[in-house]
Amino acid sequence: MSVLTDVPATTSAADVVDTDILIIGAGPSGLYGAYYAGFRGLRVAVMDVLPQCGGQISAMYPEKPIFDIAGFPSVRGRDLVDGLVAQAEPYGPVYLLGQRAVELSRDEDGHPVVRSDAGTTVRAGAVVITGGVGTFTPRPLPAGEDHLGRGQVYFVPDPAVHTGHDIVIVGGGDSAFDWAATLAPLARSVKLVHRRDRFRAHGATVEKVRSLGIEIITDTEVTGLHGAEHLEEVTIRHRLTKDTRTLPAQTVVAALGFTANLGPLQNWGLELQARRIAVDTRMATSLPRVFAAGDITDYPGKVRLIAVGFGEVATAVNNAATVIDPEAMLFPGHSTEKEN
């Protein structure tokens, strides 16, 4: 099963889940944490507000090659997430997808109790927060809101859906150019519209899109999306000359970036630094039995890479294990020392 389709949760709303570790965030760090907790013999549940595993990778760039994962010269985002899910699968993690963690309390023994917006209650020995940038919301395309879901999209989890379409991509960042390059082989036509004449995207990505013959229209804004039941065309206007133009389009991808925040987590009493969670060398937060790892954390010298998140979440899980069971060893040994 591909994790980029809607993966059914293994519990239903309003359930009570008892587990050793609750991981909040099903991105790469959280999924690796699910494997590592299982490797340590711990029960683990994974909660995420998105309906699928993978976090930003699944939502924003599942087809994009990733070049900084150790051991992989290049790995497609979709394949990385699928591999992480498969790695954790033998240990039977409980997935609570499409649920936002909203409230943290304590039981009579001081153990964390987390409630989701779906009414699920999770009682855990420890919590590991791996929420990436937190909750991220796409920046809207004002002219396109009436066609959202009827031709206008923010993410492209399955490029094949847009095969044979005339596609207009709006934006000037890496996501916009990545989608242009990904969709070009499938589409009837691809045009990229950006309101400025400079791009935030990496120069090499811009040149790749140019080399594919994709028309890049600068200093231009989308002013209207048209079509009764389905999108048929887009109106654009040059910001300086005010000249207008109509483009055929059955798909508009609004790749305008996103806003991110910690959502309800910021009300839990965690020590925050620059809207991220402060942790120590154990990946422990300011709250007892609550750890954090990955892009959501901050400390002196922090580097935000997927590879760094893998190491951080292993550290978090190992230290959480010693809090759950004071007799447990911090380092359980290498996986190669375990019998298959």
Question: Is 295 annotated as ligand-binding?
Answer: yes
> Is 158 labelled as part of a ligand binding site?
no
3-state secondary structure of 261: strand
Show the tokens assigned to 101.
């963690």
Which H or E element spans position 195?
none
Binding residue per annotation — 101? Answer: yes
Q: Return d(Cα 151, Cα 232) in angstroms, integer.
A: 8
Question: How far is 237 from 221, CA to CA, in rounded Å?
Answer: 5
**How many other CB atoms are found less than 10 A from the CB of residue 248?**
15
Cβ contact 25:127 at 8 Å:
no
Position 78, amino acid: R
CA-nearest of 250, 266, 310, 318 to 40 is 318
* Residue 336 among known ligand-binding residues: yes
Burial class (CB in 10 A: 0-12, 13-18, 19+), 82: buried
Tell me whether residue 192 is exposed, middle or buried, using C-beta atoms within 10 angstroms of its C-beta: 0 to 12, 13 to 18, 19 or more: buried
- Beta carbons within 8 Å of 142's beta carbon, 6+ residues apart: none
DSSP secondary-structure letter at 72? B
> 126 - beta bridge partners?
21
Tell me if 18 is assigned to a ligand binding site: no
Any binding-site annotation on 187? Answer: no
Tell which residue, 46, 139, 141, has the closest CA to residue 84.
46
Q: According to the annotation, is 99 in a ligand binding site? A: no
Residue 193 tokens read as: 């519209």
Calpha distance 53→98 (Å, rounded): 10
* Binding annotation for FAD: 29, 48, 56, 61, 101, 136, 295, 336
* Binding annotation: 29, 48, 56, 61, 101, 136, 295, 336
